[in-house]
Amino acid sequence: MADVVEIPAGERAYREIRRRIVSLELKPNQAIGEVFLADELRMSRTPIREALTRLSGEGLVDFRARAGTIVAPIRLEAVRTAQYVREKLELAIIEEAALTQSNRAIFNIRQTIEEQRFSIAEGDTVLFFSADERMHRCFSEMVGRGPVWTIISEAKRHMDRLRRLSLQDTDLNQLLIDHENILAAIEGGNVADARSVLKIHLGRVMEDIDRLSSQYKDYFSQSEHNDAEIAQ
Amino acid sequence: MADVVEIPAGERAYREIRRRIVSLELKPNQAIGEVFLADELRMSRTPIREALTRLSGEGLVDFRARAGTIVAPIRLEAVRTAQYVREKLELAIIEEAALTQSNRAIFNIRQTIEEQRFSIAEGDTVLFFSADERMHRCFSEMVGRGPVWTIISEAKRHMDRLRRLSLQDTDLNQLLIDHENILAAIEGGNVADARSVLKIHLGRVMEDIDRLSSQYKDYFSQSEHNDAEIAQ
DNA sequence: ATATGTATACTTGTATACAAATTTTTAAAC
DNA sequence: GTTTAAAAATTTGTATACAAGTATACATAT
């Protein structure tokens, strides 16, 4: 008997608000009152508050005590950190991947690549990036490091919003070619190639930062000295 | 005029409960009712709930809908992931550190090492590990990657509880020697040494896992297939 | 026109009340 | 003694009420 599980309001709120933030439907620095969201999502303030609390922990929402809540600005420092973390971890993973021979994994990766090709033909950029995510996750999973992708993914949230901004002018075909080359290197067991192609590939994301951060100036944090606090 | 800022109840609850969890004052798998905590910390359930929500996001607390809340068991999978992430990131950082010459940073590191020596003499293991943390953070900061340590630190929380378990039988002097060797390698600009010593050093933490996980069996998760969920 | 002080409206922080689900206890039947 | 069923107690999930701080609008003085 399949138990139909009712998704709790707090969970729904969390997912929906996060979706709106990373999709830029809610813009960085935009004020989001709790009553507004509660009204919008048809629930009381309590689950909304739970969702905002979680999002605040992830750095996507900033509380300003009794003065309002805002979508966190894109912090270039956080983007820079995410890029560093991602590069170090994913390079280590791709290295192991190239040393692993798994037909199953190769098949999965190829499938996401085909999906990317399709999404380019359709002009569906959102689908492209979701397939892209799946592919990178495959790399981690094929070497038994699935949870590492979760860590990368969390560190990457701020970067994801930046990526959204550059969606229009990104050359998706180039990214697709990168992906094919990475897959080829993995299949061929060519560690050096896998590393170098991936490194270049990951670097492309950072290329447009200067342009974007001046074009969408009010989406970014100005101070630059807002570090996430951490009590030992 | 120095504004005396009142720390909000939710924040106090979060810090206190987290402290009790990582210090093993609250034991893994132990039930922690919201009313109990509210009574204990002299506040209502609302800020307690906020704290637990945040801790749940960090994987230190598990909610079981309407059936109670527990301190999350130590998940060996999470420990393994933390070890991997830490090693890859910190090795990259120590490499850069060895290539950086900063008297200021060297001084800071040496100071934490002296503090460690003092804490061993005093038999204060808690102080030792807090100085240890500060030292590792110094490495990140001296190469301009402070926020990376935050990421490591978060990934590391499960490992921290395991470490607490092994406090008694750990040879702190050996760890101190490791630290001195790492510092020497950094000062000498010896990248290879810095890497290899740190790698061995980080590996020591994992040595006692088998013994501990059978000795304190009920502190650990049994299933081993509890991955943190992540919606793309 | 600009600056300043005050009142008002708004927003979050916290407490409390209530609903819904789960676990535990209790009782009964076998 | 064991199993089953029902009832009670416990626990979280959500809504609402209220408290307290913040920002805004407005009047006033310069």
Least confident of A43-52, A103-112, A205-214: A205-214
Predicted local confidence at residue B169, as pLDDT? 83
Strand C within 7 A of A45 CB:
yes
Q: Write the pLDDT tens digit of every residue in B79-115.
A: 999 999 999 999 999 999 999 989 999 999 999 999 9
Q: Is pLDDT at A224 greater than 70 in this prediction? A: no
Predicted local confidence at residue A95, as pLDDT? 97
Predicted local confidence at residue B5, as pLDDT? 64
Strand C within 7 A of A162 CB:
no
Q: Where are the alpha helices (DSSP H) in A27-73?
A: 34-40, 45-57
Could you tell me if B29 and B73 are in contact, meaning their C-beta atoms sit under 8 angstroms apart? Answer: yes
Q: Which residues of A218-227 are buried (b: 16+ CB within 10 A; e: fewer)?
A: ebbbeeeeee
Closest CA to B29 of B159, B161, B127, B146: B161
For nucleic chain D, give residues with Cβ below 7 angstroms from it: A 8-10, 43-47, 50, 64-68; B 6, 31-35, 45-46, 49, 63-69
Nearest to B145 among A65, A84, A148 (CB): A84
Q: Is pLDDT at A231 greater than 60 in this prediction? A: no
Closest CA to A133 of A151, A148, A153: A153
| B219 CA from D6 C1′ (Å) | 35
Predicted local confidence at residue B57, as pLDDT? 96
- Average pLDDT taken over every residue of chain B: 92
Q: Write the pLDDT tens digit of every residue in A102-113.
A: 999 999 999 999
Closest CA to B228 of A8, A148, A90: A148
* Residue B15 sits at the chain A interface (C-beta within 8 Å): yes
Q: Is pLDDT at B48 greater than 50 in this prediction? A: yes
Q: Pick the residue from chain B with its C-alpha nearest to A7.
A: B65
What does the DSSP 8-state code read for residue A218?
A: G
Domain ranges of chain A: 9-71, 76-217
Six token digits for residue B204? 């020591």
* Residue B126 sits at the chain A interface (C-beta within 8 Å): no
CATH class of the domain whose range is A76-217: mainly alpha
Query: Would A9-71 and A76-217 be classified into the same CATH topology?
Result: no
Just give the CATH number of B9-71: 1.10.10.10
What does the DSSP 8-state code read for residue A58?
A: T
Could you tell me if B99 and B195 are in contact, meaning their C-beta atoms sit under 8 angstroms apart? Answer: no
Predicted local confidence at residue A169, as pLDDT? 83
Determine, for residues A53 and B54 on separate chains, whether the beta-carbon distance falls below 8 Å.
Answer: yes
- Cα B130 to chain centroid, rounded: 9
